[in-house]
Amino acid sequence: MAEEQGKESVRERNRSATLLPADHGVKYCVAAPPGKWLAHVVLLSVFLLLAPVFPASLPAATFSVNSGHDVEDLEPGNGLCVAYIIFNLPAVLPFCTLRAAIEEANSLPGEDTIYLDAGTYTLSLAGTGEDRAASGDLDITDSLRIIGAGADRTVIDAAGLDRVFDISGPATKVFLSGITIRGGALPAGLPAGERDGGGVRNRASLSLSRVVVVGNVASGAGGGLFNGATGRLAVQASTIAANSAAE
């Protein structure tokens, strides 16, 4: 009887372990009961090792973002949008962020789709000089559709960190719908060509439908949206207003 009670006590102590988002390049940390680190690290390792065996070679993928945190993907290109995991044993709950979904979409062939629920998605992962969406602005380098719940309900806010979207690629086609893009900022002192497009810089094919671009700042041209020499732009039922640019 005492042995059974002891087992039940261990089960209760281990019922909750959390994999939390971390900053400054640290991908994750594990919070587990004392003496149980190995078990939870093994469980995490098994989950990540098995991830590539799930179907990931489809022509296009669909990702539903279920986290408002700004965390990069644990393993970009494996077909699974997993930025961090919460263990609530026996459940293992993977969370997909907007940044992680874009990283996956950039790595996969075909025109992928990302769905965003109502809420504000604030960029907070600082970084410059990379074009993989791992930090700073959200780099889109492959064809993608981002569908929000409506411009009055789904907001992507750079909070002055960087521009919001940087879209590039000669064959890249991007469709944005039902979102607000705000809070992009490009400070003075950036190299020529990097100061343009506080909200969006487009050097591909971009379509906006029912999108609001507002409250963005560029130290170059195009406070809200800059359409580069190679960019193609279509705007339908959208508003680009109250942005500012130095040029």
User: pLDDT per position in the chain (247 positions), as tens?
Assistant: 444 444 433 333 333 333 444 433 333 333 333 444 443 443 455 455 445 544 444 568 999 999 999 999 999 999 999 999 888 888 888 999 999 999 999 999 999 999 999 999 999 999 877 889 999 999 999 999 999 999 999 999 999 999 999 999 999 999 999 999 999 999 888 888 899 999 999 999 999 999 999 999 999 999 999 999 999 999 999 999 999 999 8
Residues in contact with 110: Cβ distance below 8 Å, sequence separation at least 6, in sequence order: 58, 59, 60, 61, 143
Q: What is the pLDDT, as a whole number, of residue 58?
A: 58
What does the alpha-carbon distance between residue 33 and residue 197 come to, in Å, rounded to a whole number? Answer: 48
User: Taking a C-beta distance cutoff of 8 angstroms, is the pair 178, 149 a contact?
Assistant: yes
In three-state secondary structure terms, 225 is strand
- Residue 114: the pLDDT is 98
Rounded distance between C-alpha atoms, residue 65 and residue 86, angstroms: 15
What pLDDT shows up at residue 6? 43
Q: How far apart are CA 77 and CA 106, in angstroms?
A: 8
Q: How far, in Å, CA of 75 to CA of 14, rounded? A: 26
| Per-residue model confidence (pLDDT) at position 247 | 86
Q: Would you state the pLDDT for residue 188?
A: 82
* The two structure tokens encoding residue 136: 């700073």
pLDDT at residue 48, rounded to an integer = 54
Q: Give the global pTM.
A: 0.80
Residue-level pLDDT at 44: 53
Angstrom distance (rounded) from CA 120 to CA 155: 5
Report pLDDT for 10.
33
Number of residues that this document lists for the chain: 247
